[in-house]
């Protein structure tokens, strides 16, 4: 077993833990390979997957999108190879992207672009 990857740990659920708690929405989902936490990607408003990695020290994630199986190492900021994780390996295929459908605002693309622009302004 690779330290930081638990192949037996199931995902925390079909959506971002924090977005679900807060009644928010996400763009894409990522799954922590150590504890199963499902968080939203860095293009989402909440960026909960990377926040979880920073707070917990859990360095690896896998995409939680249907048809994607890539892994990312936050420590090295590189793609890595990883083993098959416990099912399910993605959110339900019928779940919308972004999602969940009932909470996605009509101007979701504008919101993501504004947020990306604001983050770029803070880091530059």
Confidence (pLDDT) at 1: 63
Q: What is the pLDDT of residue 122?
A: 80
**pLDDT tens digits, residue range 6-31?**
999 999 999 999 999 999 999 999 99
Structural domain boundaries of the chain? Answer: 17-123
Longest dimension (CA), the chain: 44
Check whether 123 has a pLDDT greater than 80: no
CATH number assigned to the domain with residue range 17-123, chosen from the 4 options 3.40.630.30, 3.40.47.10, 2.40.30.10, 3.30.40.10 = 3.30.40.10
Q: What percent of the chain has pLDDT over 70?
A: 98
| Length of the chain as a residue count | 124
- Quick check: 29 and 91 in contact, CB under 8 A? yes
Sequence-distant contacts of 95-104: CB under 8 A, at least 24 apart: 95/14, 95/15, 97/27, 97/28, 97/65, 98/25, 98/26, 98/27, 98/28, 98/44, 99/15, 99/25, 99/26, 100/15, 100/25, 103/23, 103/24, 103/25, 104/25
């Amino acid at each position: 077993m690779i330290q930081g990857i638990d192949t037996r740990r199931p995902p925390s659920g079909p959506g971002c833990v924090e977005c679900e708690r807060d009644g928010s929405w996400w763009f894409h989902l990522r799954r922590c390979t150590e504890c199963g936490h499902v968080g939203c990607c860095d293009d989402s408003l909440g960026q909960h997957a990377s926040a979880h990695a920073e707070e917990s020290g859990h360095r690896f994630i896998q995409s939680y999108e249907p048809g994607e199986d890539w892994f990312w190492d936050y420590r090295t900021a590189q793609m890595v190879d990883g083993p098959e994780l416990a099912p399910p390996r993605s959110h339900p295929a019928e779940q919308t992207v972004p999602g969940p459908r009932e909470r996605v605002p009509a101007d979701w693309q504008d919101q993501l672009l504004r947020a990306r622009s604001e983050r770029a302004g803070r880091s530059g």
